[in-house]
Copies of this chain bind each other. A is one copy, B any other.
Amino acid sequence: MKPREIGITELVLRDAHQSLMATRMAMEDMVDACADIDAAGYWSVECWGGATYDACIRFLNEDPWERLRTFRELMPNSRLQMLLRGQNLLGYRHYEDGVVEKFVEKSAENGMDVFRVFDALNDPRNLAHAMQSVKKVGKHAQGTICYTVSPVHGTEDYVALAGRLLDMGADSIALKDMAALLKPQPAYDIVRAIKETYGEDVQINVHCHATTGVTQVSLMKAIEAGADVVDTAISSMSLGPGHNPTESVIEMLDGTPYTTTVDRTKLKPIRDHFAAVAPKYKKFMSAVTGVKTDIFQSQIPGGMLSNMESQLKAQGAGDRMDEVLLEVPNVRRDAGYPPLVTPSSQIVGTQAVFNVLMGKYKVMTGEFADLMLGYYGECPGDRDPEVVEMAKAQTKKEPITERPADLLAPEWDGLVEQTSALEGADTSEEDVLTMAMFPQVAPKFFKERHEGPRNVGMTEEQVEEERRKAAGLDKALH
């Protein structure tokens, strides 16, 4: 029997350097790999998203739209893929539908093919308009399920969510496991159940991080269950808090009833390219290497943990971490079990710290109150009605049940006006979108844009020098 062909999404141009080196990789360190990536036969090439857009204008003085156009030009044969936070676009608040539509339109126009649309709370209403906008411009709308573990997240809940996404016209479903919590058996069960419920021809893409060391097995089980595409990163930019290595995932399928569309002989130059440039970004690299399995017990992602630690220390209460760790699950339960992912992880974590330091919900953060009152959308489970009352009392705001974006008035014209007043902004809609999503950073970026891209990595000479010194240091010490 002919093996079933599994597609591969290569993450090196977006999530891999976001996870491993704080999204700092400059375009000049990616361009030389693009021809090889384009020729390798990936199902898609993920190359754009909120953090890369942010890093472009905040640190790299690169126009993110220019980056997108360059990718388009250098990879004419590839599906370019982006990660889109539903109604939040690439920013940190809800946008009015007109802005969402405009963003999708311009992204498509500049070369985007596949839009992976997600919402941190898995509230389908926060995805709906973005999905619809993608359909309208004739691009691939991928509806996303954020995977988490809680009493209200059973296989049947994910299947129901997949159904909502398919009802929106999703061209495919992504199962997104940002915390590396997805174990092999649930990976199998969820993929199988979606296929059995909605048909074997529903395309399922699986995105896992490697942090806990179990998810390559999960990819295998997902494939056995029928998954169509899996996400990987070229080996020299893989593992740790990043992703499973492209080469290993391809090799693992040998002899099975599955194969991939990727030509493995094409991967070596891609690997070698990133192995060579990665050391330039050493100072941005996560200290976390190897695997971390604590999250299976604590349910608390690493970033959230260090956040809470520094908050406690700032209050001179560094010794109360144990209490906070016990409080986190309570706060999460009271909030209706949101997945712990940006921004919900910070919101829940900070409130747990507040509860320990000042008494249970004595003081709520504005964000936590908003979460309890529905301003981020529906939470997966029921929110605790007493805590909702306290949020009302403290904020004098009313809880809402409608889609948060329904409260917003059209804002495009105002954004155009704001942007056109800024030094260095041109009159393009792309600039208006930059201003809309990053109002704090955009003005400075527009002003300095003409200076051209900055590479914040080390030069090759500095890398060499560091190698030399480290070798000398080594000798001196031993």
Q: A140 → chain B, closest Cβ, in Å?
A: 29
Residues of chain B within 8 A (CB-CB) of A323 are none
- Residue A473, interface by CB 8 Å: yes
A184 near B220 (CB under 8 angstroms)? yes
Residues of chain B within 8 A (CB-CB) of A473 are 466, 469-470, 473
In the assembled complex, the Cα of A477 lies from the Cα of B463 at a distance in Å of: 9
B235 near A184 (CB under 8 angstroms)? no
Residues of chain B within 8 A (CB-CB) of A404 are none
In the assembled complex, the Cα of A293 lies from the Cα of B218 at a distance in Å of: 20
- Residue A245, interface by CB 8 Å: yes
Residues of chain B within 8 A (CB-CB) of A216 are 213-214, 216-217
- Residue A343, interface by CB 8 Å: no
In the assembled complex, the Cα of A183 lies from the Cα of B252 at a distance in Å of: 6
Q: A413 → chain B, closest Cβ, in Å?
A: 44
B236 near A290 (CB under 8 angstroms)? yes
Cβ-defined partner of A214 (8 Å) among B251, B296, B466: B251
B283 near A186 (CB under 8 angstroms)? no
In the assembled complex, the Cα of A221 lies from the Cα of B224 at a distance in Å of: 12
Q: A6 → chain B, closest Cβ, in Å?
A: 14
A235 near B290 (CB under 8 angstroms)? yes
Residues of chain B within 8 A (CB-CB) of A283 are 474, 478
Q: A residues 223-251 with Cβ under 8 Å of B?
A: 235-236, 238-239, 244-245, 247-248, 251
- Residue A212, interface by CB 8 Å: yes
How often does this chain occur in the complex, in copies? 2
Q: A61 → chain B, closest Cβ, in Å?
A: 18
Residues of chain B within 8 A (CB-CB) of A315 are none
Q: A3 → chain B, closest Cβ, in Å?
A: 11
- Residue A418, interface by CB 8 Å: no
In the assembled complex, the Cα of A60 lies from the Cα of B235 at a distance in Å of: 36
- Residue A427, interface by CB 8 Å: no
Q: A265 → chain B, closest Cβ, in Å?
A: 8
Q: A278 → chain B, closest Cβ, in Å?
A: 10
A256 near B185 (CB under 8 angstroms)? yes
- Residue A289, interface by CB 8 Å: yes
Q: A residues 342-385 with Cβ under 8 Å of B?
A: none
Binding site for B on A (CB under 8 A): 183-186, 189, 212-214, 216-218, 220-221, 235-236, 238-239, 244-245, 247-248, 251-252, 254-256, 283, 289-293, 296, 458, 462, 465-466, 469-470, 473-474, 477-478
Given contacts A220-B221, A251-B296, A466-B473, 6 further A-B contacts (CB under 8 A): A213-B247, A214-B251, A216-B216, A217-B217, A220-B220, A236-B290
Ranked nearest first, the 3 interchain pairs of A and B with the lowest CB-CB distance are: A213-B248, A185-B255, A247-B293
